[in-house]
Amino acid sequence: MSDMIPKGGIAPLVPELDVCDLARSLAFWCDGLGFRVAYARRETGFAFLQRERAQIMLEQVNGNWVTAPMTPPFGRGINLQITVECTEDILTRLSILDWPLFRPLHDAWYRAGEEEVGCRQFLVQDPDGYLLRFCESLGRRRLSPGGPASSH
């Protein structure tokens, strides 16, 4: 871990999540999900995490950005899709932690124009209730004559 910007730079969109207990969240995100701390400002309760090309910021709740009362589960109404090369490693890590899944691993196909885009995905909530959807690509296929398998 360093206190420098990640070597690949910062993505154009990086969510910053307020968390109740930064140490607990870091254990979940790093040990459970395989992210690494790219840099942190421990004195202010901040960490910038990265896994493959996905980036996220975690900050101990401090009132700076609070627009309404913070009551768990946080992030209601949003799920963060995180694309990974393979979901298997994350599922193994979560199993070791005995962490429950919100939705089990499944394959989904979504219409995109005249084809479908496939992903193998599962959903899990972090310690503060943020809903995370991890997916790996299953590629693309032509639309079946009966229409799309699911919509998004």
* Per-position DSSP letters for 97-136, written without gaps between them: TTPPPSEEEEEEEEEETTEEEEEEEEEEE-TT--EEEEEE
pLDDT at site 69 = 87
Which amino acid would we find at residue 16? E
For residue 1, is pLDDT > 60? no
Mean pLDDT throughout 111-139?
A: 96
Q: Are 49 and 29 in contact (CB under 8 A)?
A: yes
Mean pLDDT throughout 34-55?
A: 94
What is the model's pTM? 0.87
pLDDT grade, residue 67 (50/70/90)?
A: confident
pLDDT at site 70 = 86
